[in-house]
Each structure stands twice: as structure tokens, then as C-alpha cells.
Chain A
């Protein structure tokens, strides 16, 4: 797969504060790339520089092989952005909003009408095309934000905490559409999120802290490297578990043991077959990875 985003030695300071400190990474075409970090870690600054709305101090950015400094408008055409908060005009209708934003990409007249029809059908918002954006529910408004980002068929979709505050059903619809577009159009998605299950579904994860890269890899690689495995054993007594001499946690009548890796878990089962009649082995979660590499918890509260 080709590298569609390549960032080299990116630096940005605000006074004495180094918001982005010599950050380098690349994103492959068609990948779902999760970008994690607490508030102030440098995610939004990196995204703003990527979108050409903020000037960098140094470093280079290549989008689809183009140097973003040399051909900024070509780069802008390749990017679609769903911002953390809706930036559409609340007092205009859905159609008026999309018509205006499409015109900024030169999409007007019949071309716009055709694209609007496609997106309305894809994101299921035909029924509220003529409703004022300010009167839509949070989920409906988010659909329009996504439609706005997809108006010009971008190669890269940047999602800045897109599902924060959405109900599970809208979140699922949104991901269904995005996954479909990734498969059909090889669209690359760069995601920042609070929801660790979303990060866990990514193809690749980059964790930054204090503007620097602290860990990266596929979710499995990160879990293997930074967390252990968990064995949950059912229908055993506390004395039996204590005999194993491993740290454990009581969870709703069962016991959850932490082991270094799957190999250790397998050995434990072989050595104590009488205990393992009803059990499950799970990998550590992305929350554990994040806590291990940054020493901080990535929760909605930490972001606010």
C-alpha cells in the first residue's frame, strides 16, 4: 500500500509551549488510522497544520505524494474534515449549507444536485434536506457534517472525535457508511476519538503525548507489547484461585487473572486443568495500552 500521508519532523510551538515536537508518521492508503492523545497532546494542532489552517514552524507534509507547501490547493481537494463540533450554519437549511460548502470546491449546478442526491441516499437524510440545521438532532446534524466532508469525494477523511455524544445507533450508521466508502473508494480515514473500541478497530494506531510520538502499531501489536492477557475463570472458589499465586480480581462471581501473554496463559491451563472448565482468555484493551504508554487515562473528561 502507498503512503497517502507522510509527515516528517513536524514542529509547532505556541510561545514556549511545544505543541508538536519533531513528529513523524505516515498513513497508508485505505487505512483507518487512529490518532490518540489526551487534550493538549498535539492532535488538533497536527490536524490543523495538515489541513493548512495553521502554519507549521518546520517539517514537511506530503499528501498523496504532493508537498503540501508547494501545492496547497491540490492538497485541500484531497482532504475532507469532520470537526469535533458542527460548523454548519444553524439558521440555514441542510441543502443551503451543503450547496454553499460544495461551491467552495467549485461543485455547482447539476453536479451539486447529483452529489447531494447520492449523499442524501447514502447517509439517509433525504427527509430533512429542507429542514434548518439548527433544529436537527445531534445525530442528524452529524450525518450532515459527514456529508459536508464527503461533498468533493476526498481521498482522505479526517474525523476529529466524530462520534462524541452520538447515540449508539447513529454511531453505527456513521461507521457503516465510512467503512463502505473505505472499501469501495479506498478512502483513508484519520481518526481521533475517545472511544477505545473505535481505536481498537483501527488498522494502525499512533499515540502521542506532549507533541511527541510515544507508541505506534496495529492494535494487536500495541496490546501484545503494552498489556498482558486476561483469563476469566468461572465456577471456581477463591481458595483455588489464590493457590495459583497470580494477581486476580473478582468480577461478578468469576475471577479475572492477569498474565504476561498468551503463552503464559496456555501453560497455566496445561498445569492446572482442573480449574479451567469454564473460562475465557482476552487481550488487554486499548485503554490499558494508553495508560501504560502515557501514564494517563483517555476519557471524555480528560479531553474536556
Chain B
């Protein structure tokens, strides 16, 4: 039985691989260890994560995105060849942009905002998992401390990213109604940027890893980087999927969100697709003494007319507003679109009074 994550052989006597063999060996590392294989990513792509779990991912991953230019600047600082620097500096431009509101970090912030976060909360990184911070910081330290060859080889995960990105975009758009094409704009750019960057890096590694020892170092560097990515998903899984052990200071659902989103936990405008429900403490009751239906709520009673009773009897926490309108339209042989307008007006009035939620 082979270990799932073997470390590269340390045998000094291994033979020198041809450049093509080296590339194949590097690609093999990705095929076995890249984070598209991680259970958390499978859940993400298959639409199995709930909105808060997607939020946790977007929030934590921001720290990785934000530190990429710091990492690339550290790599750049070690390059003594101007032609190398001219190529590498493009990575920083891609991420930071040429002006405020531009670049990969900005597009990631848009993604985080798209799932409901406040920008300042995301930028503060105060809610990220320690494991995220440790992993990303380890990556930055790695490129500072190791050889330039290892620093460049560690970036080679980009060889594998186009696969994960297309899977991710298609899966998320299909499975999450809160994700739009605009939210995922970050990945559009990366689809063209990553192969260009990876091509340069693999050429560099193939050209400069000229001894078995250097080839081993390049493979170890890529393995390290795969682990940087994998560990971040381990931590997300542990904290937000199972067993759900969130560290004391890490983000918890409901915090860091823009006010409208924070409210959306039950309040706010009710729309056609929403499923309304009567929360605990609000009850529809027939009042035998007065011979009418009433809605009992905190410190008040609503007298209900026949229409209101017809609507509220269908509010069961299962049916959407649309379902209710269609059902009423059948009963009263009327146009569901016309009925829906009235139903929405009534339900929103009750929602404003805090006796109906969604």
C-alpha cells in the first residue's frame, strides 16, 4: 500500500531526470496532492456547502490572496537578473492592479462582498483561522529562506489551477443561487494568467534543476506548496464542516456581514421565492368566544379577515410565497400573479412588525 502523501525520495544516488521526466514528476505531485482532491473542495464544487461554509472559505482564502504579492515581492528581491524580474513583476501587477479598484486582490474582495461580507472586516483578517495564517506565512518565509529555484518551483501549483478553476466556477454557479458570474470574476483572469506564469516557472525549473539534488529540491518545494494549500482546507473542514470545532477568535456565522445580509437571517423584504414562516411566539388561533381567527404575537393580537386567514393558513415554513399564491389561485380561480402581489404586501407588512420571518 502506498502512502497517500509520499515525500519525494531523499536518495542522493537517484539518477538525473531529463527535463521532460522532471516535468512529468512535478505534474505527478499535483495529480496526487493538489487541493482539488481535498474533501472540502469537493463539497464546495458540488454545492454541498451551505452559505456560511462558503463564506468561511472566501474569508480565509482572502489572506492567501492578499499575501501573494508579498510573497512575489520577496521572490523578486532575490532575482539578480533584470529579465527575470521583468517577467516576475507582472505577478504583482496582476494581483495589486495598477490603480485602486483593480487587480486580483480587489476581485477577491468582490467575491467576499458577493457572499455578504463587509470589505473592512475581510481586509482586517481578524476572523481567519490561525492555521490559515500559519500556512500562508510559512509560504512567505519559505520563498525568502530557500533557494531561488525552490522559490520558483513552489509556485508551480499554478500548472494545476486551470482545472480546479473551471470545475469551481461551473460547480459554484450551478449549485449556489447566491453566487453570480460577477462574484467569480477573480477566476476569469486567473484562467489566462496562471498558465502564462506556470509556463515561465516550469521552463525555469527545467533549465536550472541540473542535478539530482536540485531536482529533488524542486519537487520538495512543490510538495511543500501543495501542503500549504491542503492544510488551509483541513482547517476549514475541521472548523466549519466536521467536527465543527471553531477556534475562539475565528469567524462565526453572522459576524462581519453587511447589515442587510446580517438581517437576512430572518428579516428584510420578503420576495416571491422566499419561504415565510411564523416564528416561535406567533400563533394563528381560532378565537371561539369571538368567532374569528386571530394572530397572537408578543404583546399584541391581530384580528384577521378571511383573506388573511387563507394566506396565513398556508404559511407553513415549507411553501414559498409563489407556492402560496399558486395554491390560492387554484382555490379562488384567479391569476396567481395578481394574488402574489397582495400576498407579498400582506406578508411584508407582518414582517415589518416582526411577527413573520423567512
The reply to whether chain A is a binding partner of chain B is no
The residues of B with any CB-CB pair to A shorter than 8 Å are none
